Amino acid sequence: MRIAQGKGVWARGVRSALVGAILAGSATLGVTAVQAQGKTIKIGVIYDLTGPFAAGGSRAGYLGTKYAIDMINERGGVEGYRVVPVYADAQSKTEVAINEAERLLNQEKVDLLMGVFSSAHCVPMAQRVDQARRFMWANVCVSSAVFKDKNLKYVFRPQVHSDQFGEASCTFLQEQSKARFGKDARELRVAIIYEDGPYGAGVASGNESKCKSFGMNVVLKEGYAATAPDLSPLVTKLKRARPDAILHTGYNPDITLFLRQSKDQGLKWGALIGHGAGYGQFDKLFETFKDDANLIFNVDPVAAQLLDASTLAKGLGDVTAEMVKRYKAEVKADEVPPHLSMGFNQSWIFFTDVLPRAIRKHGGIDPEALRKSALETDIPVGGTIQGYGVRFFQPGHPMAGQNELSSPVVMQYIARDTFVVWPSAIKTRDPVLPLPKGHGYSYQ
């Protein structure tokens, strides 16, 4: 695997033995020793370490969070507090995620919850935590439905949200339509397909709204269950619709099923734009589809190692380098997925900005102190390892608790390298579209 412009790309996943080590209770068993050293903040960290979501990015998100916690503790903790994580496996099941959240809060007596990969878990979990007046810091889940019109007070997310994913892919197409497709945006035929959970439906809604605002011809919009065993009827509809571009939001097995059945049924397109999750795990797509997986686009928060560190606040480049170093040493792979940066970045923001202020200014680590501190967060663009700034929408706003400065990018996999192709201000290469003649899915 080559490194695009000297920077790492996507990951091969975490060894299954990792789960056993986590769930053996090593973090919990270490609490007594840590407490003997002074004050602690106990954090419940929930990710999917088994099941289909694990390989779709959740394990990488967990590792990013773990490295952030380890690095903070190695620096002496936060304002006299050591961070004590208690890890839980949601097993890619919503009911398990909810049960684990309640166990961590009520039995393990953690001070707050952090993590969460799946939006299907995040939406109900956020509401329950908020109703209990406990604190939750969401690292990876992106559904706008977590916050939209919920008026949550104790849940915060520095991460991007799904409306932004949908808007980004349509804006990218609109900007490229004339130059690349030789068509006005109003002539572009766009199909929107998605897993019908909160994540997929949220992105698809953003797709439809933004694409239609540009006058694009949305020839098909259709959802499906992420666990569907057969997507051939959907592929048949797409063949009839003849889209120039397909905007797809899915996880991992369903993306693989879609690509396989599309090849079997002869579906062709000019561009396939994915939106995170399974599309952020390019190594798994390439492992299955080889060169046919090349030139896929992915909308995601940027993998930090793809950014020019000189454009970020002083010291953040070194932080990113250490994160990548730890990941490669543990996973034994050169490919570094964006979910690693997501898990790490949001955790780092909490430990270096929100938590210190809560302790110094608001008297401690209780939910009210953490809430007040989060509302005061004001990190400028360039102040995080993923480039975007952090400032939360305030109480009374329809998206209260969501970061208003977050933003995704559009990336493209080219010859097994990863390049940022949008926005133009930070792109590292021009996009290739439509697919060239000879590509397995090209309609030319």
pLDDT at 3: 30
Residue 384, domain member (yes or no): no
* Cα–Cα distance list, 85 to 48, 100, 192 (Å): 16, 14, 39
pLDDT at 346: 98
Tell me how many degrees the CA angle 423-428-431 measures, rounded to the nearest 5. 70
Residue that has been written with the tokens 């007596």 in this structure:
109
CB of 365 closer than 8 Å to CB of 359: yes
pLDDT at 40: 97
How far, rounded to the nearest angstrom, does the alpha carbon of residue 222 sit from its chain's CA centroid?
Answer: 23
Low-confidence ranges of the chain (pLDDT < 70): 1-37
pLDDT at 24: 41
**Whether residue 287 sits in one domain with residue 170:** yes
CA atoms within 13 A on the CB side of 329: 7
* Cα–Cα distance list, 333 to 57, 63, 71, 159, 281 (Å): 15, 14, 21, 26, 13
**Whether residue 287 sits in one domain with residue 415:** yes
Residue 65, domain member (yes or no): yes
pLDDT at 12: 32
**Whether residue 131 sits in one domain with residue 27:** yes
**Whether residue 346 sits in one domain with residue 274:** no
**CATH number, domain with residue 227:** 3.40.50.2300
Q: What is the pLDDT of residues 292-342, one digit of tens each?
A: 889 999 998 888 998 889 889 999 999 999 999 999 999 988 778 889 999
**Whether residue 149 sits in one domain with residue 69:** yes
Residue 142, domain member (yes or no): yes
In DSSP terms, 81 is beta-bridged to 39, 78
User: What is the three-class DSSP state of 420?
Assistant: strand
How far, rounded to the nearest angstrom, does the alpha carbon of residue 316 sit from its chain's CA centroid?
Answer: 20
Cα-Cα-Cα-Cα dihedral sign, residues 168, 174, 178, 181: positive
Q: What is the pLDDT of residues 73-109, one digit of tens each?
A: 999 999 999 999 999 999 999 999 999 999 999 999 9
Residue 398, domain member (yes or no): no
pTM of the model: 0.79
**Whether residue 229 sits in one domain with residue 268:** yes
What is the domain range of residue 170?
163-300+409-426
Residue 125, domain member (yes or no): yes
Residues in the chain: 444
Question: Structurally, how many domains does the chain consist of?
Answer: 2
